[in-house]
Each structure stands twice: as structure tokens, then as C-alpha cells.
Amino acid sequence: MKKIAFFDTKPYDRESFDRQNGGRYDIRYFETRLTAAALPLADGCDAACAFVNAEIDRAVVTGLVERGIKILAMRCAGYNNVDFKAAYDAGLAVVRVPAYSPYAVAEHAAALLLSLTRHIHRASARTRDFNFSLAGLTGFDLHGKTAGIVGTGKIGRIFAGICAGFGMKVLAYDAFPDPATGLEYVPLDKLLALSDVVSLHCPLLPATSHMINAESLAKAKTGFTLINTSRGGLVDSEALLAALRDGSVGAAGLDVYEEESEWFYEDRSDATRQNKTLSLLVSMPNVIVTSHQAFLTREALANIAQTTLANLDAYFSGGPLDNEICYRCLGVESASNAVCPKRKSGRCL
């Protein structure tokens, strides 16, 4: 029976994977995330499974391969934390879960938007203290407003549909526009200038890193609401904080943060040394921060487990790896395409 070193385990991971596994793999669950220091935990294993906040740098890749591990199964869609050049050089196959529940993420984005628009988070905190005052809770209708969707993959398209259902006008920006979506594509600067709500649904790549920064925020519609359920590195947090303080940004709903790996997924309530920028963002009344939980639904967890185990099945049986990504893939058109032109027998490596 193949042994899988499963890193960054949470109770919901163990429950969903045990249910889907059916005893075909010996899964060794570890609470620690995959870093160089955690490599000894993978001794004797045939594969490693990691999550979005792991640090898969060259040292980790080398350490896995030295232990005889030839496949790394990422149980997430994002892969900006993986050194693919190192993986390619070492012959480490990397697979992922490209889509687990786009509805879960899009619906969470809508939940953040509605909570901010109608101050639900503040109202809930008040009524817990039996304060039923409505002062300061005036919101605004979404109907008739303009939503700007940055990134029109599955999640972006679903969120666009939700916004359309509210009666909003929808504008879209994508580096690779898809006319088949029926969306109205505009340049990013125009989208920012016209949108009352801007929601980010694109991958983190060198071209998109800090795409929301001081310069782009200066071009945006004053008082707009920013929603980010994609990747924290898309937003320059310091620039966002400054814009929230001066009113350039009216509100922000963040399920991700650019330095989240040290903070998210764990109870940090007793930490005395905190991330200053994150602390300031969390303290603001017009900001909601959730801990990268947009994916966290029963349906998504089941899909993550099924796809991850299917990826491992395909690898160990010698079958094609539909969800493999390699260094060469990332040089073709866009990383989101993940299509390697040199792939043979259904595999990159």
C-alpha cells in the first residue's frame, strides 16, 4: 500500500479524505505545513500532499526527491507557492485540483459583498450587546450599481452571474478575454474607474502581483468596494490600507492576505507579535477578513479529496495526469491554461 505524507492536516481534511480513500492509501496525517523543516515527516512515504500555504521551494523539492518521492499532490487550485523550475529539474511531478467548487468561492465573495454593503458584521456585533441602534448602518442597493470582475474563469463567471441576478451592470477584465462568456470586456483602468464593486478572480502570477496598488487605486472610482477571494498577493496591502483610511476605497472584503501563510488556518488569538498591516485591516469597521475559507463547503471538500486521490491513482497506475503542471506548462500562453506542448503519454515529465 502506497504511503502518503499529508501535510497541514485539519479535522475537515481527515474526515473528507478518510471517507473518499476507502483504504487504498496509507495516509499519514501531519498538522504541520510542508516546509524544509518538516521534510523528515515524509520519510518512508511514496507521495506528499500539501496545501496552498506550504513553502515548496528548491530545498523542499530536493528533500522530497531525496526521500524517493516523485509526486507532489497539491490539494488546491493555486500553485504560486511551488518552485516549478526546481520540480522540473528534479523530476518531481506536481498535480493539483483545478476546480473543486467554483460556486463555493463565488458565493463567499457574494457573502462578503452583502455583509459589507449592509453592515451585517457590525449589526451582529451590536445586537450581541443588546444594542439595537441603526445609527451608522445605512447601506446601499446593489441593484443598478456596476460590478467589475477581474478574471473570468469559472469562479469569475459565476460571480458575474450572481451580480447580474442582483440587477447590477457587469464589466469584465481578463488578460485573455473569452467572447463566449457574453461579458462586456474593458481595459482594467476603465473597469476600476466605472465599478462600484471590484472582485478579483485571477491567479497570482508575476504579471498580476500587486495589480491592485497605489497607482491602480488612484484610478478607481472613489468609495468602491474591493472583494478578494483569489490570492492575497494580487493586492498591495499597504496601499489598500492607505486607500481605506483616506476613503478612496469604501470597504474591503478579504478572504486572502499576501502574508497569510504565517497567520491563516490557525488560532493566533494569543499571539503578542502580530502582523501590523493585517491587525490594522482587521480593526477597521469597513473591512471583513476571513481566513481563506471561501473553499470550505462540504461539496468542495469532497471534490478536493476525490480529485487528489484520483490524481494519485493515475500517477501510480501509469495513466495520464490531466491535472499535472510543469515548468514548461507555465511558459505557454498563461499559467491558468496549464497545457504542456511537449507532453507525451499524457504526462509532462
- Rounded CA-CA distance 113/251 in Å is 9
Domains of the chain plus CATH, in order, are 3-100+298-331 (3.40.50.720), 102-289 (3.40.50.720)
pLDDT, position 28: 97
- pLDDT tens per residue, range 9-68: 999 999 999 999 999 999 999 999 999 999 999 999 999 999 988 989 999 999 999 999
pLDDT (0 to 100) of residue 335: 43
* Least confident window among 55-64, 128-137, 336-345: 336-345
Nearest to residue 87, comparing CAs of 118, 59, 67?
A: 59
Whole-number average pLDDT of the chain: 92
Mean per-residue pLDDT for 209-222? 97
C-alpha cell read off for 25 = 492509501
How far apart CA 332 and CA 30 sit, in angstroms, is 35
Alpha helices in the chain (DSSP H): 11-21, 58-66, 84-90, 102-117, 120-128, 154-165, 188-194, 214-218, 237-246, 276-283, 298-317
3-state SS class at 319: coil
Side-chain half-sphere of 108: how many Cα atoms within 13 Å? 25
Active-site annotation, residues: 231, 260, 292
Residue 331: predicted pLDDT: 62
Contact of 104 with 295, CB cutoff 8 Å: yes
Residue 52: the pLDDT is: 86
- The Cα–Cα gap between 83 and 204 comes to 14
Scored b (16 or more CB within 10 A) or e, 216-227 reads bbeebbeebbbb
pLDDT for position 120: 96
**Cα angle value 338/340/344 (rounded, 5°):** 135
Q: What is the DSSP string of 276-287?
A: HHHHHHHH-TTE
From 274, 269, 246, 226, select the one nearest 113 (Cα to Cα).
Answer: 226
Say what the pLDDT of residue 110 is: 98
Show the cell assigned to 259. Answer: 502574508
The three cell numbers locating residue 75: 490539494
Question: pLDDT digit string (tens) for 143-195?
Answer: 999 999 999 999 999 999 999 999 999 999 999 999 999 999 999 999 999 99
Query: What whole-number distance in Å separates Cα of residue 136 and Cα of residue 345?
Result: 62
Cell of 126: 451590536
Contact 255, 293 (CB under 8 A): yes
pTM over 0.85: yes
